[in-house]
Amino acid sequence: MPKVNLWIIFLTGLTTGGLTCLAVQGGLLATAITRPVVMPDSPEAHASKKARRRAARARARAMQTGIQVARNPWPVVYFLAAKLVAYTLLGALLGALGSVFRITPTAQAIMLMIAGLFMVATALNMLNVHPIFRYVALQPPRVLTRLVRNQAKSQQAFAPVILGLMTVLIPCGTTQAMEVLAIGSASPLLGALIMFFFVLGTSPTFFVLGFLATQLRGKLQTMFAFAAALLVLALGVVALDSGLKLVNAPFAPSRVIASLAPTPSAAQAVMVDGVQELTVNATEYGYTPTVLEAQSGIPIRLWLATDNTFGCARAFVIPRLGVQTILPETGRVPIEIAAQQPGRIDFTCAMGMYSGVILVN
């Protein structure tokens, strides 16, 4: 069983995970904190005509911004509890499957690109750019919405719970990295613990922002919706870019931008026993150096060094050569590369977030 630091996983959830997940799953959370239906058993239904009209006006105002209001934090709590349970079970399942099945970089890239396109389209829908983007809105199955509406007594809890469970279907980039880790653990218990601590870590961000959204009114609420849409748009582009980098696409936006900027000085290879050696440090913030140079026609030994590295950079991929490895938290791992023709060997983390290149001259 590989060593996994659950505390670090919790902190990853608390920091990056919370924000990236919110970008993808924020829509479900927003839906969870809304109460669009007046239930026959709810106090509102028995209220005076005036109170009902007031409530309808409040709902109408909320509709203009796409975010609606619940007056208390309970829907957020139910949503998060259901999400935690769902992901813990998923972690156990992935851990159990771990020895049997492995996500390839191409599969990961396809998932990232689909998620990226979905996020961009969702953001464009939120910004009301064109009616065509309405088609990307996830509409829960009618059977489910009926069930939600008919559960009069548990209405307040039921919808957020269903929505919380549904977050399993749209994991964010960081969550996917954790899922890969859970698969890699090849242990149902460890897989469950990885996902539990990660999702627990993401919960405070969800709770604070979710609760805040319920407290915002008027112009602030409109601004919150607008800012959320822009954030989803930006993260969608990042996910798309990461997916393109993973399949080694030369037109990945970050690669195009990098080619326009002046190339940083490249680290040179050192000859050892007829093999040219290069070292790349995998850190919490990516790979250093990001540009390395080697000569064609001579085998390359690429040393990957880690020193208390817990982030995504540990999952190392060279798409073109089919290299895929998980580095130890601390240590040095050699990757043997046969003599190459002149060209470029791009490397990246398994999520396509961090990258670098070996230029073969």
Partner 1 sequence: MVKQRFEITGMHCTGCVMAVEGAVEDLAGVLSARADYARQFADVEYDETRVTPDQIIAAIAESGYQARLAS
Where do we find the tokens 């239906």?
A: 37
- Taking CB under 8 A as the binding criterion, the range among 79-87, 101-109, 145-153, 293-301 that sits at the site for partner 1 is 145-153
- Our CB check for partner 1 shows the closer of 137 and 220 to be 137
Long-range contacts of 111-115 (CB under 8 A, 24+ apart): 111/176, 111/243, 112/173, 112/176, 112/239, 112/240, 112/242, 112/243, 112/246, 112/351, 112/352, 113/239, 113/240, 113/243, 113/244, 115/24, 115/170, 115/172, 115/173, 115/236, 115/239
34 binds partner 1 (CB under 8 A): yes
Q: Does residue 134 belong to the site contacting partner 1 (CB under 8 A)?
A: yes
Exposure string over 328-345, b if 16+ CB within 10 A, otherwise e: eeeeeeebebeebeeeeb
Nearer of residues 62 and 103 to partner 1, judged by Cβ: 62
What is the separation of C-alpha 135 from the centre of its chain, rounded to a whole number of angstroms? 22
Shortest distance in whole angstroms from residue 36 CB to partner 1: 4
Identify the residue among 145, 222, 281, 295 touching partner 1 (CB under 8 A). 145
Residue 223 within binding range of partner 1, rule CB under 8 A: no
List 5, 7, 40, 129, residue binding partner 1 (CB under 8 A):
40
User: Is residue 48 close enough to count as binding partner 1 by CB under 8 A?
Assistant: no
State phi, psi for 234 to the nearest 5 degrees: -60, -45
Of 76 and 148, the one with the shorter C-beta distance to partner 1 is: 148
> Between 92 and 131, how does the x/- string for binding to partner 1 read (CB under 8 A)?
---------------------------------------x
Does residue 37 touch partner 1 according to CB under 8 A? Answer: yes
Answer yes or no whether residue 38 interacts with partner 1 by CB under 8 A. Answer: yes
Q: Which two tokens stand for residue 151?
A: 């559960």
Rounded to whole angstroms, the Cα distance separating 281 from 277 reads 13
Contact residues toward partner 1 (CB under 8 A) are 27, 30-31, 34, 36-38, 40, 52, 56-57, 59-60, 62-66, 68, 131, 134-135, 137-140, 142, 145, 148-149
